[in-house]
Structures are given as C-alpha cells and as structure tokens.
C-alpha cells in the first residue's frame, strides 16, 4: 500500500471455552481492487477521532453521541481480542456515554458470576482493582492493564456519584468455573424466603454444584451432563415460580445463568453439529442476560464483545448460526445499536490454538488491496468513525457489499472473512494501527 500523510498525524504518545469469540479459520474470500469513488464518498461521511485514550477532550465524540441517539444497548465490538486501542477506546466511549448520555452499565462477554464480583468492587467493595482483575479475568484477553484502568475509573466515578452509580455486568456463560459461593446466592434466598423448597432445590443442584473446572466437567458422560442440564433448568423454573419481589428477581436470574451454563456444557461436541449448537446457545444466553439487566434496571448499557458477537449478521453461518447482536435486535428493536471496529495494521493478542496455551503477541502488516480495511485506510483521517445508515449513496453501496475483512479471535492465523460492514453494523470505527494490550502489572 502506498504510504501517505493523513490530516491527523501518527498518534505518537496517543496511543477459556468462552473466553472470547472462537473464530475458526475458514476459506478466505477473493480480493478485488476498489476504485477511488468509494473513498471520496467515505471521506464525506467520516468523523475524525483525535484520540483513542480516555481522559481527553470529548468534542470529537459528539457526532458519535448523535449517531447513538436514544439506543438503550450499544454493542461496541473489537476486531481482535487483545489490542490496546480497542480496549482504551471502549473506556473512552463508556466515560463519554456515562457523563454525557446517562449510560449506567458496562457489559462484557465475561461470566455472569465474575461480573457480579467486579460490580461489587466498583460499588465500593473490598480489595483493589488489580486483585479483582486477577481473580475474575485470569486466562482471558481482558486480564490487562486497560481493564484495570476501566474498573478503577468505575469505582472512582461511583465514589464521586453515590446517587447514580455505574455497574459492571458479565453477560456470558459460566466458564471456566461457577463456584459454590455463587450457588449460595440462589440457595440462601430460598432458605430465607421459601425454606420448604430448599430440599428440592438442593437435590436438583446435586452433582452440578459447584462447577470447579468446565474442562473437567466436559469429561462427564454425555447422559450425565444432559441430566444435570435438565435439573438446572428445573431449578430455574422452581425459582421462577416462587412469589417475591426484588430478591426473587435476582435469584431467578442467577438460576437462569446456571441453567444456561449447564445446557451449554451438555452439548455433544463429538457431533458435527455440536459446535454450532454451542455457539447459538452462547450468543442467545449473552443476549438474554444483557436484555434482562436492561429491563430490570432501566440502565442504558455499553456492551463490549468481539465484532462477531455484536454484529447483526454472522460472517460464518455454518459455524456461528446467529449472533448476540441479532438476538438483541429481535428483543430490543432499534433500541440496540452495534458499532464495529476495523484496523489497517498492528499487533494484538491471540493463541496458536483456541483452547490451549497462553495469549501472545501477533502482528499483521497493512491490509491487502480489496479488503474493507484497505479502502477504509485511504480515508483522509488516520482514525475516524462513520454512520453507515446515513452515508452517501456511493459509500453506502460499498459498505453493503461483502468483501474480505479481518476478524481475529482466540486463534491466529485465521483467514479473512467475507463481511458487509453496512449489513453488520450501524456505525464503524476505523483505526490506522493498533498494538497489543498491556500485561497487568
């Protein structure tokens, strides 16, 4: 790609089973050249970003606030699971939405139980941000300094605004573990308010409580896992049928999470349809949990997940039949708005094998000609965002066409996927370059 100077210079100083989107390699789509017309049209739609770092002047985010409008849930994706700029931009956007647009919750594709632990800390609980991150994010790509910064900011914001606190939500299934202390949130409620039902609840959770290690749990015979999943669902129905107010609502949601997790872990992965079945269970569960929080609290939520989860459409229907974003659009309608991330070059964290080994640094050069990223990187701004819904006709036609795109999850290398940006997202943020996220100190 020919190098050129853009209007905003180089940044310089501005810079587990369910531990992220498991994006399997697939046959890469053919690359094709693009003419200059889409770039001129994209130029007219683009709004420059002056920084991806939080704590800066937010004047450049005002247009983004207008694009978001009154959406109740905003899905903010990431094109990799471990790039500094994606993570810091999430904190920057969340701060802006909290301070200027009344948002109250940050949701992450992290287990519901771990999210509760983080939320208790940001509400003023004991501990410190790094210790909380180590305990709840270990083994995930979010066990990084950027998320320590986010957690610390949320706690400080709550200290300064005790009457209007923000919350941390984990919307994902319970891997790698669901400990006994979490199950006690359910059984203690029943013990206190409906003691006659406690023996039955304990019987239903026998053999399931706790899930110390999801990988060990998956070694149980399939028949046993299916039986335990049914029991977990019966426990959920038991709680759902009890009379009560606020405390029962939370116990019901906790029991739903256990049932979601048990059903996910009961999938027969030896069956060719096992992985697609597991993925649709997971994305449906994540959408259900976000929608529950939004309905129960009334909070506007910034939802953080991989691009492949927040998008309206899947880039690999055979392996990932339906996205979290598609489920949320069905549930919330236009109250759900997805934002996709794109980047031209740089480094990130991934693994050699999705379910094995440690997160480590990988890098890619400038995007190849014919890819979405190559054309976006020719826009005159180094970093920018645009509303695909209101883009000029030439830009909209280009955005609506599927073409090769990077989508890097828990395994690398991975082939480019065929993605239509205009059909996947309402807003796209493009960054010229990124670097790997910072190890937690």
Give the burial class of 245: count Cβ atoms within 10 A of its Cβ; 0-12 exposed, 13-18 middle, 19 or more buried: exposed
pLDDT at 34: 54
- Poorest-pLDDT segment among 95-99, 179-183, 269-273, 299-303: 269-273
Provide the pLDDT confidence category of residue 25 given band limits of 50, 70 and 90. very low
Bigger pLDDT: 349 or 30?
Answer: 349
87, 144 contact by CB (below 8 A): yes
| Section 48-75 average pLDDT | 97
Predicted local confidence at residue 8, as pLDDT: 35
Residue % of the chain over a pLDDT of 70? 92
Q: Which of 364, 365, 374, 362 is nearest to 421 (CA)?
A: 374
pTM for the model stands at 0.93
Q: What is the pLDDT of residue 416?
A: 97
* Structural domains in the chain plus CATH codes: 36-174+286-434 (3.40.1660.10), 180-281 (1.20.1440.30)
Average pLDDT over residues 297-301: 98
- Please, what is the end-to-end C-alpha distance for the chain in angstroms? 37
Count CB-CB contacts under 10 A for residue 400. 13
Report the alpha-carbon distance of residue 406 to residue 414 in Å, rounded: 8
pLDDT in tens, 360-419: 999 999 999 999 999 999 999 999 999 999 999 999 999 999 999 999 999 999 999 999
Residue 7 has pLDDT above 60, yes or no: no
CA dihedral sign of residues 278, 279, 283, 289: positive
> With 70 as the cut, is the pLDDT of residue 14 above it?
no
% of the chain beyond a pLDDT of 90: 89
Confidence (pLDDT) at 28: 55
User: pLDDT tens across 224-270, in order?
Assistant: 999 999 999 999 999 999 998 788 999 999 999 999 999 999 999 89
What is the mean predicted confidence (pLDDT) over 219-228?
98
Determine the pLDDT at residue 24: 36
Residue pair 357/380 in contact by the 8 Å Cβ criterion: no
Give the C-alpha separation, 180 to 203, whole Å.
15
Q: In the predicted model, is pLDDT for residue 163 greater than 90?
A: yes
pLDDT tens digits for range 306-365:
999 999 999 999 999 999 999 999 999 999 999 999 999 999 999 999 888 999 999 999
| pLDDT of 17 strictly over 70 | no
Checking if the pLDDT of 16 tops 80, the result is no
With 90 as the cut, is the pLDDT of residue 22 above it? Answer: no
Return the H-helix or E-strand segment holding 341.
strand 336-350
The helix (H) or strand (E) run that includes residue 325 is helix 324-332
For the chain, what is the mean pLDDT? 92
């Amino acid at each position: 790609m020919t190098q050129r100077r853009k209007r905003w210079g180089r940044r310089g100083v501005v810079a587990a089973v369910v531990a992220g989107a498991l994006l399997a390699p697939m046959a890469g789509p053919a690359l094709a050249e693009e003419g200059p017309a889409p770039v001129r049209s994209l130029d007219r739609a683009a709004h420059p970003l002056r920084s991806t770092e939080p704590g800066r002047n937010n004047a450049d985010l005002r247009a983004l606030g207008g694009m978001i409008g009154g959406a109740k849930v905003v899905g903010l994706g990431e094109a990799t699971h471990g790039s500094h700029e994606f993570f810091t931009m999430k904190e920057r956007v969340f701060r802006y939405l909290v301070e200027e647009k009344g948002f109250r919750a940050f949701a992450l594709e992290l287990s519901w139980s771990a999210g509760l632990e983080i939320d208790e800390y940001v509400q003023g609980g004991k501990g410190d941000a790094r210790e909380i991150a180590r305990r709840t994010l270990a083994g995930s790509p979010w066990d990084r300094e950027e998320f320590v910064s986010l957690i610390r900011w949320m706690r400080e914001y709550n200290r300064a605004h005790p009457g209007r606190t923000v919350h941390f939500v984990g919307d994902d299934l319970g891997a790698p573990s669901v400990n006994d202390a979490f199950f006690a949130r359910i059984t203690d409620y029943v013990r206190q308010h409906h003691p006659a039902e406690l023996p039955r609840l304990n019987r239903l959770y026998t053999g399931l409580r706790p899930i110390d290690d999801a990988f060990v749990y998956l070694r149980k015979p399939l028949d046993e896992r299916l039986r335990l999943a049914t029991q977990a669902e019966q426990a959920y129905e038991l709680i759902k049928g009890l009379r009560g107010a606020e405390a029962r609502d939370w116990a019901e949601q906790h029991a739903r999470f256990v049932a979601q997790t048990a059903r996910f872990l009961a999938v027969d992965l030896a069956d060719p349809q096992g992985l697609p079945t597991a993925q649709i269970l997971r994305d449906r569960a994540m959408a259900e949990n976000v929608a529950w929080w939004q309905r129960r609290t009334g909070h506007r939520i910034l939802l953080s997940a991989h691009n492949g989860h927040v998008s309206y459409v899947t880039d690999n229907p055979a392996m990932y039949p339906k996205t979290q974003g598609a489920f949320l659009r069905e549930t919330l309608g236009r109250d759900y708005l997805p934002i996709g991330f794109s980047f031209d070059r740089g480094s990130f964290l991934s693994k050699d094998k999705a379910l094995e080994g440690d997160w480590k640094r990988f890098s890619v050069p400038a995007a190849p000609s014919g890819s979405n990223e190559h054309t976006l990187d020719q826009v005159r701004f180094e970093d920018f965002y645009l509303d695909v819904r209101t883009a000029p006709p030439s830009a909209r036609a280009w955005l609506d066409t599927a073409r090769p795109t990077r989508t890097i999850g828990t395994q690398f290398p991975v082939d480019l996927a065929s993605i239509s940006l205009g059909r996947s997202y309402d807003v796209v943020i493009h960054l010229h370059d990124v670097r790997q996220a910072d190890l937690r100190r």
